[in-house]
Amino acid sequence: MLEGLQMDNIKLGIVVSDYNKGITSKMLEIALTYAQKKKITISHTIHVPGAFDTPLAIKKLLQKKDVDGVAVLGTVLKGGTDHDQIVAHNAARCAADLSLQFNKPVALGISGPNMTGKQAQERAQGYAERAIETAVKMVDILKQIE
């Protein structure tokens, strides 16, 4: 968990996909509640149309001096084609690339691909909380290295 970490000076941004909003709005609520409970500051929250659209918003947040890391929330459900694979893989790859480019953590809280709506609902809490927790842990690790 997050015990022993100095979280009072860590500021995170959240990027949330509004596609599958019934699930992602729940994920955002869970993430914000978790952050508040753990006394983590969320300095910015940006909504984008879908998971594929998250990288540009991530980049804009990472450019800000008052953002130490970003948690990305979304869900990519299985449809009739392999489109979910393309969306999820590209969102994840771009998020990782941006993390490396800006030397700030980007925690991936996007569920899927190949996931049903029921599976995504069942896993919403875990994905949302882990995204916040991972971002905080990585900020702490990077501060220790500096």
Q: Which fold has domain 11-139?
A: Rossmann fold (3.40.50)
Whether cis (ω within 30° of 0) applies to the bond prior to 113 is yes
What predicted TM-score, i.e. pTM, was given to this entire model? 0.94
SS3 20: coil
pLDDT, tens digit, 9 for 90 and up, residues 89-142: 999 999 999 999 999 999 999 999 999 999 999 999 999 999 999 999 999 999
The tens digit of pLDDT for each residue in 5-37 reads 565 689 999 999 999 999 999 999 999 999 999
pLDDT of residue 5: 59
Band of residue 2 on the pLDDT scale cut at 50, 70, 90: low
Lookup: tokens for 85: 């694979």
| Residue ranges covered by each domain of the chain | 11-139
Nearest Cα to 119, choosing from 23, 32, 50? 23
Residues forming the active site: 83
pLDDT for residue 9: 83
Residue with tokens 């030397």: 103
- How far is it, in rounded angstroms, from Cα 19 to Cα 62? 22
